[in-house]
With several copies, the nearest count.
Chain A
Amino acid sequence: MLDKNGIAKRIAKEIKDGYYVNLGIGIPTLVANYIPEGINVVLQSENGLLGMGPFPFEGEEDPDLINAGKQTITTLPGSAIFDSAMSFGMIRSQKVDLTILGAMEVSENGDIANWKIPGKMVKGMGGAMDLVASAKNIIVAMQHVNKAGESKLLPECTLPLTGIKCIKKVVTELAVLDILPEGGFRLLERAPGVSVDYIKSVTAGKLIIEGEIPEMDV
């Protein structure tokens, strides 16, 4: 079973040289720490930046330079700043190669819910609806079950949707799964020490198991 950093580390392996990547808030942000040596990646922040660097050294924070999570950040050499319309323009035109974001629920046909819980204060979808509707390649990073112990990989989402038929891959503390075009979570890898039976027991949506399922290499 992986911790949050483990999930981030596993997702980082999905990143290919030359990718432009948008990282959501939470676990996805951690992915930046595990990008393999020799892989050139440019991070897009949807508030208007390509080439996001690490947090600034203490005392060097610039209030005019933040990421989409409103954190103070830095830019790397070769970065570019642009306005919000262009930022979502490049997202919509699929220039961003990979989007990684968190979710409350994912369904076996690739629907995602991650912005609203009825009865609770709704903060808004931010850029999530734009990202999931536009990106060609989306990985969800999330826990396999919610705090009540219920599966977050479902036949259908129960919460209000963020987007439909858009999620291609899910990485949790237990497993890596892709979502097949015809529907269903196909188990690709299991976390070290986690059994296929256990993954079965916490996956409410259709789970497809083909042959031997290898352990993740993290």
Chain B
Amino acid sequence: MINKVVSNADEAIKDIENGMTLMLGGFGLCGIPENSINALVKKGVNNLTCISNNAGVDDFGIGLMLQKRQVKKMISSYVGENAEFERQLLSGELEVELIPQGTLATRCMAAGYGMPAIFTPAGVGTEVAEGKEIRNFNGKDYLMEMAFDADFAIVKAWKGDTSGNLIFRSTARNFNPVMAMAGKITIAEVEELVEPGQLDPDQIHTPGIYVHRIFQGENYEKRIEQRTVRTR
């Protein structure tokens, strides 16, 4: 098997350069690549275009990169819960492209599946359709949406093996597998890195062929955005 292990987040992201396009997995703060984001903040790389469903909160996740003004453009479906984000957006420092969530996910998948474009009805008749090709199939209109083209995809998995196979846990799966397929270079951070043979081949969510670098992350905070409970 091919060994894809790097020692840590710093090494994994070392050739990410100013102006690049990154995909970052996660939904809200769930399943985000915490270690890699911290390393990007430390490295101080900037002018980034970030494709991520959300933009973190003020002091966690992509919010940390926004605070250091590393992000030129966010491509997301929902960007609430972030005062600094709002300030930069309203002042024109930050560009934002809002995309329907399913379109976002499917444009990632399209890249991973070598399909240059997909058709979706999401956004037909809305401002999302502006400038896009509309096509009717079986009496229904669809927008043609293009596959993403990202320099790096950075994802967070639960377990991974040294040859890059990934398993995600619960709803921390979300965008991670589709982004893992879509990066020109894909970096995976995992909670537990194991040897080949320790993961059941039938249970792999992302086959190692899609993953170029893998490392075991540390100190996962896994912050909860909306703690909701019921009483016993």
Chain A residues in the interface with B (C-beta under 8 A): 17-18, 20, 40-42, 44-51, 54-73, 75-96, 111, 121-130, 133-134, 160-165
Contacts and interface: CB of A to CB of B under 8 A. Distances in A.
Given A47-B171, A62-B170, A89-B113, A81 B204 contact: yes
Interface string B55-71: 00000000000000000
A63 B30 contact: yes
Contacts of A78: 1, 161-163, 165, 196-197, 208
Given A70-B30, A124-B79, A57 B170 contact: no
A110 to B, nearest CB: 11
A58 B228 CA distance: 8
Contacts of B169: 64
B229 A80 contact: no
14 contacts: A46-B102, A51-B1, A64-B158, A77-B195, A78-B161, A80-B165, A82-B204, A84-B174, A111-B125, A124-B78, A126-B101, A127-B101, A130-B120, A163-B125
A149 to B, nearest CB: 27
Contact of A123 (B30, B80, B103, B224): B80
**Max chain B CB contacts within 10 Å: which of A54, A92, A133?**
A133
B196 A77 contact: yes
B217 interface: no
Given A55-B229, A77-B197, A164-B125, A64 B106 contact: no
Interface string B72-114: 0000111110000010011000000010111111101101111
A132 to B, nearest CB: 8
A92 B114 contact: yes
A82 B109 CA distance: 13
A158 to B, nearest CB: 14
Nearest to A160: B127
A162 to B, nearest CB: 6
Contacts of B105: 83-85, 87-88
Contacts of A69: 226
A73 B121 CA distance: 30
Given A66-B226, A121-B89, A83 B122 contact: no
**Max chain B CB contacts within 10 Å: which of A51, A64, A93, A121?**
A64
Contacts of B122: 92, 129-130, 133-134
Given A84-B53, A93-B112, A124-B79, A64 B171 contact: yes
Contacts of A86: 113, 207
Contacts of A67: 171
A72 B2 contact: no
**Max chain B CB contacts within 10 Å: which of A55, A72, A111, A130?**
A130
Contacts of B76: 124
Contacts of B229: 55-61, 72
Contact of B171 (A65, A95, A129): A65
A107 B113 CA distance: 29
A94 B115 CA distance: 11
Given A71-B226, A72-B224, A125-B101, 6 more contacts: A40-B2, A47-B27, A47-B171, A80-B165, A83-B177, A85-B108
**Max chain A CB contacts within 10 Å: which of B29, B101, B106, B114?**
B101
Contacts of A123: 78-80
A64 B224 CA distance: 9
Contacts of A42: 1-2, 163, 208-209
B138 to A, nearest CB: 13
Interface in B136-183: 158, 161-163, 165, 169-178, 181
Nearest to A52: B171
B209 A90 contact: yes
A58 B231 contact: yes
A60 to B, nearest CB: 8
Nearest to B128: A129
